[in-house]
Amino acid sequence: MILNFVIIYRVVIILLLSSVLDFIFGDPLKIPHPIVYIGKLISGLEKLLSPDSTKTDVPKGVLIFILTVIISFLIPFAVLLILYRVNFWLGLILEIFWSFQILAARTLSIEAYKVKKYLDDGNLKEARRALSMIVGRDTSQLTEEDITKAVVETVSENTTDGIVSPLIAIAIGGAPLGFAYKAVNTLDSMIGYRSEQYFYFGKASAILDDVVNYLPARLTGISMCFASALISGLSAKGAWRVMMRDHAKHASPNGGWTEAATAGALGVRLGGDATYFGVLYKKASLGDPKRNIEAGDIERATKLMWVSSIIVLILLVIIRMLCYL
């Protein structure tokens, strides 16, 4: 009877237990992480395809996207298929563990708080170094306000990429689809930059990452508005107003939803020009500067990440439960 119950509600159990594990442990550095191997796969395929920064890289970029996503899905799918047939419980344990590795809420929270601690201690040098571990931009000349803004922006945007989108993927297709999503996300992180080197080769990855995250980003932004009503000191009204007004100003069709919602909830201004890999990018500002941003906003943004993620998790569990009726 217990086995039948677990089989029926397998996906719900995976969602809940993997989220609890992520909340408790985060990313144990000593345990091999599958995303590292996805990154190695991308690097290997890039060497094999030998992009040359011309228009001929576009089909190569499509090919590396297809191969990476398919391989990232098929390997865990095949392993789990075999293991479930050998022993259901072993298959379930592995799928819960893999799903836990796919989620990044705790790790994102830990890295954000590291920066906050250095800022609280007045150690800008270490704060810049800690920030450089979670952003792909030049941090060497950033002021305390710039550092704080960068952390808040990273936390808000990665609520979609690191938590909500993976949760949705796992809810639909278990750990294999979760890995397929992480492959899309990793491709965008590694080759999706609009630099001269990857302009053509990374075009497909950048566009398809936007497509995959289109609905999750909007769901995350809306959940942040609801979460703001549950967190002391945040404004749900401000989150909704700024999100609806400013989301389209963002260069990304998805990033603006969460970043604008966070700016409105906190009552600060986010965005502005930033340097990535030595290139200055003009970025619009989001939100109203009702006050100056401060280190404490890192904690507030992290709370917003946690509560909004829990709201989405509850929603996904309810939807999956309704599917069983």
Question: 263 pLDDT exceeds 90?
Answer: yes
Please list, in sequence order, all residues whose beta carbon lies within 8 angstroms of the beta carbon of residue 134, skipping any fewer than 6 positions away. 108, 111, 112, 115, 151, 154
Res 122: pLDDT: 92
Q: Cα(264)–Cα(261) distance, rounded to whole angstroms?
A: 5
pLDDT, average across residues 192-219 = 89
Res 52: pLDDT: 82
Res 140: pLDDT: 85
Q: How confident is the model at residue 226 (pLDDT cuts 50, 70, 90)?
A: very high
Note the maximum CA span of the chain: 61
Residue count of the chain, please give it.
325
Q: Cα(110)–Cα(278) distance, rounded to whole angstroms?
A: 27
Res 114: pLDDT: 96
Phi and psi, residue 270, nearest 5°:
-115, 175
Three-class SS of 112-164:
HHHHHHHHHCCCHHHHHHHHHCCCCCCCCCCCHHHHHHHHHHHHHHHHHHHHH
Question: In this structure, what token pair is assigned to residue 56?
Answer: 């001929």
Strand partners, 286: 270
CA distances from 139 to 125, 249, 275 (A): 10, 23, 8
Higher pLDDT residue, 284 or 240?
240
Q: Count of alpha carbons within 13 Å of 198, Cβ hemisphere only?
A: 20
Res 281: pLDDT: 66
